[in-house]
Amino acid sequence: MQSRRGFTLVEIMVVVVLIGLSLGIVVPRFRVSEATKARQAADQLARDLEAVRSRALAARSLARVDFDVAAGSYTAYLDDNRDGTLTQSAAETAALGTFRTRALAADVQIGRDGEPDVPGYPAQGSVTLQNSRVDFDSRGLTTPLGVSGVVYLRSTKDSSALAAVSISAAAGIRAWVYREGSWQ
């Protein structure tokens, strides 16, 4: 008789079951939590604000980031003709060169509920900046001088997943995360 080489049906089924079990253990660990999504959105916003501030410095011109709470997005502008005013036109958006309008992730929105204020920034609302926008002058400082505020970001699926981005009077930008009852 000749011997046959190969796998039996039982051996194949055992391997398939082992692969299924290992995937059942490993795959859920790669799922991104709602808190992580909020933190990532805050980190992206902080990077975008820094980019707009840097562009204002480089161009020696006025720049703005305008927050649309209802749409869950923000748009950046650069005073392309350097006349000292922003009309928020398509040309000013295009002149910025970095990003134009950025929508938040589908599970993240601008907002907060009853959580305490970010330390040093007491104010009501989900965007505590005047007119829901921040302007940077040609020196990279907020204008009018001394303007500061916070943009709060939260998960739409988990109300405890909250992050924020603060802009200080000296145009310092920082991302925050709300964990275990305090801002970090």
Instruction: Judge whether 148 and 166 are in contact, CB under 8 Å.
Output: yes
pLDDT tens digits for range 25-35: 877 666 778 88
Q: How confident is the model at residue 61 (pLDDT cuts 50, 70, 90)?
A: very high
Q: 8-29 burial, b if ≥16 CB within 10 A, otherwise e? A: eeeeeeeeeeeeeeeeeeeeee
pLDDT tens digits for range 38-60: 999 999 999 999 999 999 999 99
pLDDT tens digits for range 63-75: 999 999 999 999 9
| Residue 91, SS3 per DSSP | helix
34-183: CATH class: alpha beta
This prediction's pTM: 0.82
Say what the pLDDT of residue 113 is: 79
C-alpha 144/C-alpha 134 separation (Å) is 9
Say what the pLDDT of residue 29 is: 67
C-alpha 20/C-alpha 35 separation (Å) is 28
